[in-house]
């Protein structure tokens, strides 16, 4: 071990002599010498990037049985030369997203077992030190408590503890606890040397069946694509034909550049920043050696600290990060980045460190390491298959999670599984590359946003509810933006689109609703504002700008049953409906999980023509899914008309919507003439404007209409003005998405991306009525078999609505999402969304209930009986609140419920009976 | 007008007995505390009008800062350089309590702080920068340019500055002038001295040409190109008078025609002496215009020191009269800075000066010549322009005052004859000239009035300017390398660097930067915004107690040109 440490020291300090040390290193990597060996002409998979990601993907692919894998590393010296080499190597499960948590947990276990498993003396420096996350503020402590309640009682049962400041000093005597309000202790967390992990994984991969070949000093210039599929890569040492290409080219900018170098560019939205951390020489009086000191994360101080070879390693996230490579100098050697003490000092990192551990003043500095880190626009890594090029996989943008939170090899397990099985084994949507559109790839956008991401990197972990980024805003706005803004709209961003959250009434002023005020774990200051908007939706009429929703048009070129067949195959509900009908349907995958949840209206009489509305962030995902599953020879024409109807889509909600619209259109709009879930066959005229597509549907369960106004006619403002002036006598007002959200949650409406994911089937969320298992033509649809099977066997999780009973809206912490659900004191699942219901005057949480066998932890079938017979509690940051579970919405409470919704409900009731 | 104690920083003209006489002091109390109309009449005069200045010299409360200073010092943690030279003049504290009381009458105590932008707008109000234009590599000057600035403490400021390029000869002139007993003399010297110098330097032919032009009413060759801040004004009324005196001077020079090439040193000395002589003569002769008549008298009865640099290629001459200083900033081979003095202070700290004065007067006066570090116990600088009270015979003074305007006659100060005044003149304007050949390592020259030098050591001045000009903000990145540095040491180092950078970034002018340090430096030598803000928020009447007027010119040399000139000559 001592030798290893020595060699490590040389790594850090004697840069020019890397070459000599690298030869020593090379002997440990069996195939590393292969740089002299010529490249093979073809392979199944080419992985670009020999960092921890690339080696991990290679390792996992080979473990899953793939043999023909080539790993290319452009670094001149060896594997793990990118930011992997400079990783701080803290493996921490302190994460908010459950997918990230699972990955970190997997990584931790993988590292732990790596040695045994591979039989190689890996020496990855794995030490289970535990981690302490410090809280200097009450809000931070709440945030930690939320994580703790999730960690502790999740399926994995990761132990953790909330500590008082005094206990912190017992765990780690060097910590100054005077300004702390508490901390969280996760004893299972560990530290590793990530460069060594990467080498060990490479070793293991090449031993797994000798399928993996590693070639160093080889850089990929571009990826060859034919007909939207990867055919090979062009390197500086020749071409390699391949079926799959994996871009792990760096947590640093290379991935971005490499993506753009394609003929069909693959946009990978990430941007690099300089990241600094400090290494010191050993402490004079070492900490008690039997218990290696825990890794410290001080989010309020913006730093992390871990022990490192007797000394400490400490880095952090500056307030003014230094973005790198914006101009795309992707060949810059990382090694040439300089230590910038002034930056480290000016940004409060050094003072933070000394404040946290005043005893370190006398500690001698060894080096300030500057390593580039890549960040994504939303602080989550990107992985998955490119929406434009089949066989092109990406894994990059670790947002320093690769560093501070773990080698995170688990991530790559999912990617490997994705490649081998065609889909990942968990819901990775929050990390999917397809959550970004092309507009999030502008260099300027990335540069600005990434600076904010880094500035808030640890602060962000606070995950204050309803966080909105400040930079890179107003990318896409509706034509009403200025108009709404002037009326007090407060904005949020989704997929680059500005959407109004709520409208501050005139006179309420700026004092209220200052930015920070809204960021609370308790009752937010917009409570009453949204309340009055909701009331107006219920009693009068509101207008919401919903231009951001994704809109596709699918049309059939020729009349032909074949085309309809294709559509019936793609969608789970029966699309063979008369013109003017709207069908709620899912797009399911083979397992019956929701790939998309959408509404489809048949709009044309003569031929099959459909208008499809999906959630905003489905734009890329849905398009890619449809493209992938539509037969190439089908004469279906798919068109993204989102932009076309960004003219605006106005959602007119409320009982008086009928009156407003009929007054404006001189057409009867009463339910008798225009029942719910219908689409006017003829495009209507509203005011002076015609050609407007009206649908009796609101996405909320309230009565009302959607008005789609095409952009080519500049009617948007006119229609809006007409609506507002005519609606005045009906009490019309603007409303925002918070009102919409409250309405749909109290109505038990699930939203894709929040409640539904690719692992949720319609049966699990009570949407059987939206699935037609036996369509007229008897045709199959994707996922039908899985659903049939599930219908036979019963579901293992069930979407349930909870009404909090003893929760004080004014005084208690608000639920948000991700809170653990307890049934009779046992953990049964997590909430997926929640909102205050102004009608029920209670909080409503939606979430999935599972039934775990008490001994085997195996998931059992969940029956309605199981749901109904439980006593439920929701855990909000450690405090449990009683909740009443419901499987169906309150129909009686909402007196306005009529029309087709009722029909639907009766169908449901029948099916239940 | 009442005779109150009056102790100017430079000049204490109160008659000895009165200075400490309690009855006099108590007689002032009614003036401020009871007779309210008096101060309201008085202060606008003092602040706004030059006439009011002389007229009320006796009551120049804001002049005699040290008398009033000690009680304030006790209450205030603001730094004030101890001024030993005036300590003896300080009166017993108990006498001042009522005075403090009345002080708060005049201006309410200020508790607010100025914000950094406000501080900057004060500091930058008078800043001026000049860059010598380049001519395609031809006629490239050894001077890159200069930055100048001044910060008033007196209201109005008594310092003056001048900068000009000689058009008929080569070279550039820069000077700072520190007035006392009013600003009239400093103003006159700042307007006139450079013309006298330029004329002294002109060759015979040019003088003839100019004289002929004047004679025949043709356009005059321009002699000087001034580089003036908009706040630097010239008095229009006196220009004719001044021009005539100057013309007389060059006519004499033409007559004298020695035929020899003019020596710069000699020219400087002649110009200084001649100007002072003219000031004196103009006051004796008087002027039919009553305004001008009064003006020339005010010029003559007030005083000013001068520190002037003449830079021509590698030849740098500094002519100094009084206690302003010229300091050369030299960068050593290792990059460090050292200060080289190019002037000698003419005050009691300079033994040579004391020696000189003693030699000029009979031995019987030896004891009374310098008292309390002041000339005749009154004047701090031992050389100065104007100040005819120390130059004229008693008879002449009396005659001029009696025949002079009433304002002059009413003025206690002008009427008062210095004690032990036996063998005038006691004062001269003759400068001491130091010649220096510029070397490439000479990077800049700082000319500044004593307001700067009494708050900062010359070494610090040179270091701050040097680091500013070479761009501290481009400081070398710190590299730990093989050194043993602890986290604590590094933290201290970084904090200090940060403080330096932040103060550098605020200034585009070296003189402003220096003033910021002079006023705002804390005990660690870094600018403390709070202190700076406090110092600048002082009301006009108090400001003079904590600092003097500061005027600074920083001339930057062009090392390449200097190096090239040197090589040519060898």
**pLDDT tier at A802, thresholds 50, 70, 90:** very high
What pLDDT digit, counting tens, does each position of A306-317 carry?
888 778 888 888
Question: Chain B contact for A354, CB < 8 A?
Answer: yes
* Interior/surface letters A241-274, b for 16+ CB within 10 angstroms, e for the rest: ebbbbbbbbbbbbbbbbbbbebeeebbbbbbbbb
Q: How far is CA A32 from CA A18, A214, A239, in A?
A: 15, 6, 20
Q: What is the pLDDT of residue B270?
A: 92
Whether residue B192 contacts residue B275, with contact meaning beta carbons closer than 8 Å, is answered with: yes
DSSP B34: I
- Rounded to whole angstroms, the Cα distance separating B277 from B256 reads 18
Helices A52-63 and A409-421 meet at what angle, rounded to 10? 50
What pLDDT digit, counting tens, does each position of B443-482 carry?
999 999 999 999 899 999 998 898 888 765 445 566 666 6
Superfamily of domain A795-912: Aminomethyltransferase beta-barrel domains (2.40.30.110)
**Which of B472, B474, B490 has the highest number of chain A CBs within 10 A, making it the mutation to test binding with A?**
B490
pLDDT (mean) for A720-743: 90
In terms of Cα–Cα distance, which of A506, A504, A507, A535 is closest to A517?
Answer: A504
Whether residue B197 contacts residue B173, with contact meaning beta carbons closer than 8 Å, is answered with: yes
pLDDT (mean) for A340-346: 70
pLDDT (mean) for B425-449: 94
Which residues of B make CB contacts under 8 Å with A? 477-480, 484-488, 490-491, 494-495, 497-498, 501
Tell me which chain A residues have a C-beta less than 8 angstroms from the C-beta of B505: none
Closest-CA distance of chain A to residue B109, Å: 33
Burial of B133 (0-12, 13-18, 19+ CB in 10 A): exposed
Closest-CA distance of chain A to residue B490, Å: 8
If you average pLDDT over each of B4-8, B136-140, B332-336, B499-503, which comes out highest? B332-336
Q: What is the pLDDT of residue A308?
A: 80
Q: Are B494 and A362 an interchain contact pair (Cβ–Cβ within 8 Å)?
A: no
Q: Are B486 and A338 an interchain contact pair (Cβ–Cβ within 8 Å)?
A: no
Q: What is the pLDDT of residue B234?
A: 86
Name the closest residue on chain B to residue A342, using Cα atoms. Answer: B494
Q: What is the pLDDT of residue B48?
A: 38
Residue B63 has pLDDT above 50, yes or no: no
Which of B478, B487, B491 has its CB closest to that of A280? B487
Q: Token match 């998309």: residue?
A: A596
More confident of the two residues A126 and A759: A759
Q: Are B477 and A361 an interchain contact pair (Cβ–Cβ within 8 Å)?
A: no
Q: What is the pLDDT of residue A88?
A: 67
Whether residue B516 contacts residue B507, with contact meaning beta carbons closer than 8 Å, is answered with: yes
pLDDT cut 90: percent of chain B above it: 35
Q: How many of the other CB atoms lie within 10 Å of CB of A698?
A: 24
Whether residue A612 contacts residue A620, with contact meaning beta carbons closer than 8 Å, is answered with: no
Average pLDDT, chain B: 77
Q: From 3.30.9.10, 3.30.2310.20, 2.30.30.830, 2.70.70.10, which CATH number describes the A122-191+273-375 domain?
A: 3.30.9.10
Residue A85 has pLDDT above 60, yes or no: no
Q: Are B487 and A360 an interchain contact pair (Cβ–Cβ within 8 Å)?
A: yes
Q: Is the dihedral of CA A825, A829, A834, A840 positive or negative?
A: negative
- Give CA torsion, residues A895, A901, A906, A909, to 10 deg: -90
Q: How far is CA A658 from CA A268, A663, A708, B435, in A?
A: 45, 8, 16, 98
Q: Is the peptide bond before B425 cis (omega within 30 degrees of 0)?
A: yes
In terms of Cα–Cα distance, which of B91, B180, B85 is closest to B371?
Answer: B85
Name the closest residue on chain A to residue B502, using Cα atoms. Answer: A346
What pLDDT digit, counting tens, does each position of B209-223 carry?
999 999 988 888 888
- Rounded to whole angstroms, the Cα distance separating A341 from A137 reads 28
pLDDT (mean) for A304-333: 72
Superfamily of domain A42-85+195-270+378-439: FAD/NAD(P)-binding domain (3.50.50.60)
Residue A535 has pLDDT above 70, yes or no: yes
Q: DSSP 3-state assignment of B131? A: strand
More confident of the two residues B89 and B477: B477
Q: Please spell the DSSP secondary structure of B386-444, one letter per residue.
A: E-GGGTS-HHHHHHHHHHS-HHHHH-HHHHPPPTT--SS---B-PPEEEEEE--TTEEE
pLDDT cut 70: percent of chain B above it: 74
Q: What is the pLDDT of residue A888?
A: 84
Q: What is the pLDDT of residue A350?
A: 86
Q: Are A361 and B498 an interchain contact pair (Cβ–Cβ within 8 Å)?
A: no
Q: Which residues contact B385 (CB under 8 A, 6 or more apart)?
A: B185, B188, B189, B272, B275, B276, B279, B303, B304, B305, B306, B321, B429
Question: Chain B contact for A9, CB < 8 A?
Answer: no
Q: Token match 């800049």: residue?
A: B444
Residue B97 has pLDDT above 80, yes or no: no
Instruction: Give the lowest-confidence range in A384-393, B31-40, B129-138.
Output: B31-40
**Which of A278, A284, A341 has the highest number of chain B CBs within 10 A, making it the mutation to test binding with B?**
A341
Complex ipTM, two decimals? 0.75
Average pLDDT, chain A: 78
Whether residue A163 contacts residue A83, with contact meaning beta carbons closer than 8 Å, is answered with: no
- Rounded to whole angstroms, the Cα distance separating A229 from A221 reads 17
pLDDT cut 90: percent of chain A above it: 9
Q: What is the pLDDT of residue A634?
A: 67
- Rounded to whole angstroms, the Cα distance separating B380 from B392 reads 18
Q: What is the pLDDT of residue A640?
A: 83
For A550-640, CATH gives: 3.30.70.1400
- Rounded to whole angstroms, the Cα distance separating B119 from B392 reads 45
Q: What is the pLDDT of residue A722?
A: 87
Q: How many of the other CB atoms lie within 10 Å of CB of A161?
A: 16
Q: How far is CA A216 from CA A59, A222, A398, A819, B112, in A?
A: 17, 17, 23, 46, 66
Q: HSE of B109 in the Cβ direction (CA atoms, 13 Å)?
A: 7
Q: How far is CA A513 from CA A469, A518, A816, in A?
A: 16, 6, 19
Q: Which residues contact A815 (CB under 8 A, 6 or more apart)?
A: A804, A807, A831, A834, A843, A845, A874, A876
More confident of the two residues B496 and B168: B168
Q: How far is CA B527 from CA A346, B116, B462, B500, in A?
A: 17, 12, 16, 8
Adjacent-strand bridge partners of B306: B177, B321
- Rounded to whole angstroms, the Cα distance separating B499 from B488 reads 17
Adjacent-strand bridge partners of A844: A803, A835
How far is CA B376 from its chain centroid? 21
Domain boundaries, chain A: 42-85+195-270+378-439, 122-191+273-375, 550-640, 795-912
Helices B487-506 and A349-356 meet at what angle, rounded to 10? 140
Closest-CA distance of chain A to residue B480, Å: 7
Q: DSSP 3-state assignment of A130? A: coil
- Rounded to whole angstroms, the Cα distance separating A473 from A448 reads 10
pLDDT (mean) for B385-413: 85
Whether residue A882 contacts residue A805, with contact meaning beta carbons closer than 8 Å, is answered with: yes
Q: Are A365 and B479 an interchain contact pair (Cβ–Cβ within 8 Å)?
A: no
Sheet with A684-686, side-by-side order of all strands: A684-686, A689-695, A704-709, A648-653, A541-545, A732-734
- Rounded to whole angstroms, the Cα distance separating B570 from B558 reads 19
In terms of Cα–Cα distance, which of A746, A876, A893 is closest to A807?
Answer: A876
- Rounded to whole angstroms, the Cα distance separating A300 from B118 reads 33
- Rounded to whole angstroms, the Cα distance separating A757 from A595 reads 7
Number of continuous H segments (helices) and E segments (strands) in chain A? 23, 39
Question: Chain B contact for A893, CB < 8 A?
Answer: no
Which run of H or of E encompasses B304?
strand B303-312
Question: Chain B contact for A335, CB < 8 A?
Answer: no
Instruction: Give the lowest-confidence range in A541-550, B199-208, B404-413, B506-515.
Output: B404-413
Q: Are A350 and B490 an interchain contact pair (Cβ–Cβ within 8 Å)?
A: yes
Q: Token match 């063998």: residue?
A: B423
Adjacent-strand bridge partners of A613: A551, A599
Residue A353 has pLDDT above 70, yes or no: yes
């Amino acid at each position: 071990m001592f030798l290893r440490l020595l060699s490590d020291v040389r790594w850090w300090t004697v840069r020019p002599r890397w070459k000599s040390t690298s030869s020593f290193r090379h002997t440990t990597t069996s195939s590393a010498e292969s740089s002299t060996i010529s490249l093979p002409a073809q392979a199944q998979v080419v992985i670009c990037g020999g960092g921890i990601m690339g080696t991990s993907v290679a390792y996992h692919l080979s473990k899953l049985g793939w043999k023909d894998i080539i790993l290319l590393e452009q670094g001149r010296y060896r594997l793990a030369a990118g930011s992997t080499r400079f990783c701080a190597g803290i493996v921490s499960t302190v994460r908010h997203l459950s997918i990230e948590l699972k990955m970190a947990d997997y990584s931790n276990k993988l590292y732990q077992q790596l040695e045994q498993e591979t039989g190689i003396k890996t020496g990855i420096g794995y030490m289970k030190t535990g981690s302490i996350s410090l809280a200097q503020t009450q809000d931070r402590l709440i945030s930690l408590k939320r994580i703790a309640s999730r960690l502790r009682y999740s399926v994995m049962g990761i132990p953790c503890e909330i500590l008082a400041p005094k206990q912190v000093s017992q765990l780690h005597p060097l910590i100054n606890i005077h300004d702390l309000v508490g901390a969280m202790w996760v004893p299972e967390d560990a530290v590793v040397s990530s460069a060594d992990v990467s080498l060990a994984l490479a070793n293991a991969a090449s031993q797994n069946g000798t399928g993996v070949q590693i070639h160093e000093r080889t850089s990929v210039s571009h990826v060859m694509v034919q007909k939207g599929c990867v055919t090979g890569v062009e390197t500086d040492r020749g071409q390699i034909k391949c079926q799959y290409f994996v871009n792990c080219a760096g947590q640093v900018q290379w991935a971005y550049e490499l993506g753009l170098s394609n003929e069909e560019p693959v946009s990978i939205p990430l941007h690099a920043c300089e990241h600094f951390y400090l290494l010191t020489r050993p402490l004079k009086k070492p900490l008690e050696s039997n218990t290696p000191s825990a890794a410290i994360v001080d989010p309020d101080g913006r730093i992390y600290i871990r022990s490192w070879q007797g000394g400490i390693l400490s880095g952090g996230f500056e307030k003014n990060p230094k973005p790198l490579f914006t101009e795309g100098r992707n060949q810059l050697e990382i090694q040439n980045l300089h230590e910038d003490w002034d930056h480290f000092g000016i940004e409060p990192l050094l003072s933070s460190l000394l404040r946290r551990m005043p005893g370190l003043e006398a500690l001698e500095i060894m080096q300030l390491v500057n390593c580039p880190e890549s960040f994504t626009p939303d602080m989550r890594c990107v992985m998955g298959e490119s929406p434009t090029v089949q066989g092109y996989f990406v894994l990059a943008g670790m947002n320093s999670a690769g560093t501070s939170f773990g080698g995170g090899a688990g991530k790559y397990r999912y990617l490997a599984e994705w490649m081998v099985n065609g889909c990942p084994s968990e819901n990775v949507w929050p990390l999917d590359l397809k959550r970004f559109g092309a507009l999030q790839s502008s260099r300027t956008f990335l540069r600005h946003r990434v600076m904010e991401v880094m500035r808030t990197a640890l602060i962000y972990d606070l995950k204050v509810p309803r966080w909105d980024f400040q930079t890179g805003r107003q990318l896409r706005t509706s034509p009403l933006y200025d108009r709404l803004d002037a009326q007090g709209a407060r904005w949020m961003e989704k997929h680059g689109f500005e959407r109004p959250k709520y409208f501050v009434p005139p006179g309420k002023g700026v004092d209220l609703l200052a930015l920070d005020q809204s960021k609370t774990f308790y009752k937010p200051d917009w409570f009453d504002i949204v309340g009055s908007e909701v009331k107006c939706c219920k009693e009068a009429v509101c207008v919401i700008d919903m231009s951001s929703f994704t809109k596709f048009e699918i049309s059939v070129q020729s009349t032909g049953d074949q085309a309809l067949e294709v559509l019936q195959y793609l969608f789970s509900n029966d699309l063979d409906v008369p013109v003017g009908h709207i069908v709620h349907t899912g797009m399911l995958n083979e397992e019956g999980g929701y790939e998309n949840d959408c509404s489809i209206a048949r709009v044309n009489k003569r031929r099959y023509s459909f208008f499809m509305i999906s959630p905003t962030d489905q734009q890329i995902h849905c398009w890619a899914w449809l493209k992938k599953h539509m037969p190439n020879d089908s004469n279906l024409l798919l068109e993204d008309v989102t932009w076309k109807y960004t003219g605006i889509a106005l959602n007119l909600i409320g009982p008086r919507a009928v009156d407003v619209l009929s007054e404006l259109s001189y057409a009867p709009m009463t339910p008798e003439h225009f029942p719910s879930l219908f689409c006017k066959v003829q495009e209507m005229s509203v005011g002076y404007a015609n050609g407007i597509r009206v649908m009796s549907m609101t996405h909320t369960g309230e009565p009302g209409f959607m008005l789609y106004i095409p952009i080519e006619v500049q009617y948007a403002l006119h229609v809006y003005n007409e609506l507002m002036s005519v609606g005045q006598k009906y009490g019309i007002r603007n409303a925002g998405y918070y009102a919409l959200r409250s309405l749909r949650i109290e109505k038990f409406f699930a939203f894709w991306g929040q409640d539904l994911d690719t692992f949720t089937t319609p049966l699990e969320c009570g949407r059987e009525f939206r699935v037609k298992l036996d369509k007229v033509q008897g045709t199959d649809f994707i996922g039908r078999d899985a659903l049939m099977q599930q219908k036979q066997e019963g579901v293992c999780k069930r979407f349930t609505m909870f009404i909090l009973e003893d929760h004080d809206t004014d005084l208690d912490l608000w639920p948000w999402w991700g809170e653990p659900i307890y049934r009779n004191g046992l953990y049964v699942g997590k909430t997926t969304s929640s909102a205050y219901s102004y009608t029920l005057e209670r909080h409503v949480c939606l979430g999935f209930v599972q039934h775990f066998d008490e001994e085997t932890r195996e998931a059992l079938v969940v029956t309605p009986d199981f749901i109904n017979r439980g006593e439920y509690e929701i855990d909000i940051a450690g405090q449990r609140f009683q909740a009443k579970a419901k499987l169906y919405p309150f129909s009686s409470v909402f007196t306005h419920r009529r029309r087709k919704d009722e029909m639907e409900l009766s169908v449901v009731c029948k099916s239940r009976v | 007008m009442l005779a109150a104690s009056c102790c100017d920083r430079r000049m204490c003209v109160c008659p000895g007995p009165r200075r400490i006489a309690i009855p006099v002091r108590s007689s002032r109390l009614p003036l401020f505390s009871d007779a309210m109309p008096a101060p309201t009449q008085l202060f606008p005069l003092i602040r706004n009008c030059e006439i009011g200045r002389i007229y009320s010299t006796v009551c120049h409360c804001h002049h005699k800062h040290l008398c009033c200073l000690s009680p304030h010092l006790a209450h205030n943690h603001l730094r004030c350089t101890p001024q030993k030279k005036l300590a003896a003049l300080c009166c017993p504290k108990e006498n001042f309590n009522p005075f403090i009381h009345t002080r708060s009458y005049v201006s309410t105590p200020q508790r607010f702080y100025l914000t950094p932008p406000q501080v900057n707008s004060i500091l930058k109000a008078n800043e001026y920068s000049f860059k010598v234009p380049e001519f395609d590599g031809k006629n490239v000057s050894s001077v890159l340019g200069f930055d100048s600035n001044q910060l008033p403490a007196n209201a109005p400021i008594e310092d003056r500055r001048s900068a000009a390029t000689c058009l008929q000869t080569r070279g550039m002139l820069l000077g700072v002038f520190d007035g006392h007993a009013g600003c009239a003399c400093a103003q006159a010297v700042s307007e006139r001295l450079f013309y006298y110098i330029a004329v002294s330097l002109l060759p015979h032919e040019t003088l003839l040409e100019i004289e002929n032009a004047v004679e025949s009413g043709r356009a005059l060759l321009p002699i000087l190109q001034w580089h003036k801040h908009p706040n630097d004004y010239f008095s229009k009324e006196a220009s004719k008078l001044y021009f005539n005196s100057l013309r007389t001077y060059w006519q004499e020079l033409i007559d004298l025609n020695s035929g020899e090439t003019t020596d710069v040193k000699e020219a400087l000395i002649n110009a200084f002496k001649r100007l002072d002589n003219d000031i004196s003569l103009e006051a004796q002769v008087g002027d039919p215009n009553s305004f001008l008549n009064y003006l020339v008298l005010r010029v003559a009865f007030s005083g000013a020191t001068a520190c002037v640099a003449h830079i021509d290629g590698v030849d740098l001459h500094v002519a100094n009269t009084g206690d302003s200083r010229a300091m050369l900033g030299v960068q050593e081979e290792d990059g460090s800075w050292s200060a080289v003095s190019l002037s000698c202070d003419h005050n009691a700290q300079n033994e040579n000066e004391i020696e000189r004065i003693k030699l000029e007067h009979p031995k019987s006066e030896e004891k009374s010549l310098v008292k309390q570090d002041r000339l005749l116990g009154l004047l701090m600088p031992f050389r100065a322009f104007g100040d005819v009270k120390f130059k004229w015979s008693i008879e002449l003074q009396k005659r001029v005052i009696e025949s002079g305007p009433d304002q002059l006659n009413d003025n206690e100060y002008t009427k008062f004859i210095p004690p032990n005044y036996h063998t005038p003149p006691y004062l001269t304007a003759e400068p001491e000239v130091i010649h220096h050949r510029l070397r490439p390592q000479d990077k800049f020259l700082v000319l500044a009035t004593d307001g700067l030098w009494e708050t900062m050591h010359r070494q610090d001045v040179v270091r701050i300017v040097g680091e500013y000009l070479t761009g501290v903000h481009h400081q070398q990145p710190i590299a730990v390398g093989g050194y043993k540095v602890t986290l604590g040491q590094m933290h201290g180092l970084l904090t200090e660097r940060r403080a330096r950078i932040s103060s550098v970034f605020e200034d585009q002018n070296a003189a402003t930067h220096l003033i910021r340090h002079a006023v705002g430096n804390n005990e660690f030598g870094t600018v403390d915004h709070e202190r700076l803000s406090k110092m600048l928020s002082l009301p006009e009447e108090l400001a003079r107690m904590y600092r003097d007027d500061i005027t600074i010119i920083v001339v930057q040399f062009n090392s390449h040109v200097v190096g090239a000139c040197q090589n040519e000559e060898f």
